[in-house]
Amino acid sequence: MKNFKNLQTKLTMAGLNHGKSFKRFKEEKFPNEEGVFYSEVSKKWVVRMENKSINKTKYPFVSVAQFETEIEANKKYQDIKKQF
């Protein structure tokens, strides 16, 4: 649980939305990998990262941010990768 709390804190510090606001993505099928993907549900670009929590068997990757353009999403993805 400590690792998950640290991840949430780091994502919050990075200015990212995490958690409840991304429940709608559970219905959408993204590839099981980190990266930037287009969401047919929200019609936005979504940044997906590895789930660092203890219970990651159900959701090995989580959506952490969404953007209007692919360029913005890729920039934020690179920023996150540098932090971790």
Instruction: Give per-residue pLDDT as tens, 17-66.
Output: 544 455 555 667 888 889 999 988 888 999 988 887 777 777 788 888 89
Contact between residue 29 and residue 39 where contact means Cβ atoms under 8 Å apart: no
Indicate whether 75 pLDDT > 70: yes
> For residue 2, what pLDDT is reported?
47
pLDDT of residue 7: 52
The Cα 65–Cα 33 span in angstroms is 15
Tell me the residue type at 79: D
Contact status, residue 4 vs residue 73, Cβ threshold 8 Å? no
